[in-house]
Every structure is written in C-alpha cells, then in structure tokens.
Amino acid sequence: EILDEVVCPDNFKAKLRKIWKSATHDVIRSVMLYDNEDGQEVEDDTLYNTLYRFLVLFGVPQRRFLSRKHGKVWRAIDATLLPPKANGCPDMAVFIRDQERFSLSEGSDGRIANARRRLEGMDGAMDLLLSLVSFDPKKRATPLDVINSRFMSVLIEDDAVIDCEDDIVKS
C-alpha cells in the first residue's frame, strides 16, 4: 500500500482514542478493540490510521459538516494537525510532512504524482473521485451522480445511433 508508512501521530491518536472509547461511540469502540488469544483486550490502530491517511491524501475539509454531532473529532483535528492558533498543534509538523509527500493535490511521492497526472488527464476523473470521498454525506456523489458525471459521459450512447442487430443480446 502506498500509504503504509503513514501512521496516525500520537497526540491525534490519543485524542481520538479518548473520544471513541466513550460510551457514545460503542460501535467504533467495538471495531477498535478485540480480545487476543489470551483473552486480553487489544486495540487495533486501523481506524486511527485510516482517518489520518484520508486527511493526508484528501486534506481537511474547510467546511465542518455535522459539527454538533462530530464536534469532538473536528476539535481533535484542529487541535493536533492544523496550524496553531495560540498554543500550537503538536502533530502539525508530521501532518505537513506527510501531506507534502502523499497529498493527492500536491504530494511529491512518485506514485501519488503519477496518479494525479492520470486523474487530471481524464475529463472529470478528479472531480468524480473527490465527490466520491467527500466528508460531507450531502455532497458525496450518488450512483446517479456517477453515471451522469463528465467522466462517464463517454459511455452514454447517442440516441441518433440505430442499434444494430448484432448489439442485441439474446438468451
């Protein structure tokens, strides 16, 4: 995996752990924790790393959707990853370094840069991808949006073209 070496920084992880282990996040807690063969509770870092890698690859959204419902997570992002307002953000340097290498919009890693060039070379591909991974579910592309996107327009048949008998599948 391209982002294998990108792991959630300690301070951000600690803030997320505190949020996600609370009683209000029992589904996330059930995914994060499992019992090993000795019956001891073990924490899986997959959720921490996945959220952090997503933020590195696609950036932190400017608009905080559902901030009342997910306010603690937004505050954890602001407090640990984004430029300091007053007291500094402990993991900001790591986040900036990771974004410089692996951000889809400007990352220097050769595989990321190649993917960016290829996406930008296909009409509507980057826009479609970004709409599919939007943090805001109201802005996320629906299946109908995907079908009607510029990227998929090459698959739309021209109504003026008459179907040939060979185009019909018979069973």
Identify the pLDDT of residue 107: 96
Mean pLDDT of the chain: 85
Read off the pLDDT of residues 24-70 as tens digits, 9 standing for 90 and up. Answer: 777 887 778 777 888 888 888 999 999 999 999 999 987 765 556 66
What 8-state DSSP symbol labels residue 25?
Answer: G
Residue with tokens 């019956």: 39
- In the 3-class helix/strand/coil scheme, how is 71-101 assigned residue by residue? HHHHHHHHHHCCCCCCCCCCCHHHHHHHHHH
92: which 2 tokens? 């900001």
Residue 102 reports pLDDT greater than 70: yes
Rounded to 5 degrees, what are φ and ψ at 138?
-75, -20
Residues 6 or more apart in contact with residue 72 via CB below 8 angstroms: 19
Q: Whole-prediction pTM value?
A: 0.81
Residue 17 reports pLDDT greater than 70: yes
Residue with tokens 């063969």: 37
Mean pLDDT of 9-24: 88
